[in-house]
Structure 1
Amino acid sequence: MNNFLSEELKTEMKIEPYQKKIWDLLNENNLLIIHPESGSINKRIEIIKKFKNQIYLVEAIDGEDFYKISRNFDKSTPDNIYNTIYDFICKVFRKIECTY
């Protein structure tokens, strides 16, 4: 994926020095960015939004949410499977507004 953001726009957006460096690196192949506060998914989502969704979130398969979701499916019954699926969708697809 190639990224093109003008220097004028970078200045207008009041981009921090580290953000400018990341914008410049987005043109590279195989770029991996590790956020220092990796325990909170919300901090990583903020970074993705700052870079106009040009960065993709990769979660570790041993993350706490994966275990919770798996347990919920293991415990599901025919009576609550739709609620389990709904909870799963709300956790995985964060752009969906869920109401409980």
Structure 2
Amino acid sequence: MRPVERPQDREWTEWVYLLKRLATKRRIPARVLYNGQIKQFVTILENSLEMRHAAKHQSRPLKDDRNILQLISAGIQVAKILKDASAMKYLDQLYVQTEKQIQDRAAAARFRV
């Protein structure tokens, strides 16, 4: 087995599998999750795998920028469930910046037509 020294030493799918297993086996105490939302946490993790698969393989092409906003939103939900205020703040700022960039690009495209 490969040693883990940093989070980057594992793929996202490996972390999702581990977190799902810990959550479903009740190894993650409900008190560390916002409102004890273990089922929601597992659902968000599963959805993140779906989005990652779609982005990586393009078998189901990404339709538009909303997918990026969905990924960031999922991150915000995970940060909220894990009660990580600094991650929530960072991801919220990222969401706002990304949304603004999408709107600016759309506005520029309208003027080119």
TM-score, normalising length: structure 1: 0.29
TM-score, normalising length: structure 2: 0.27
Higher-helix-fraction structure: 2
Larger Rg: 1
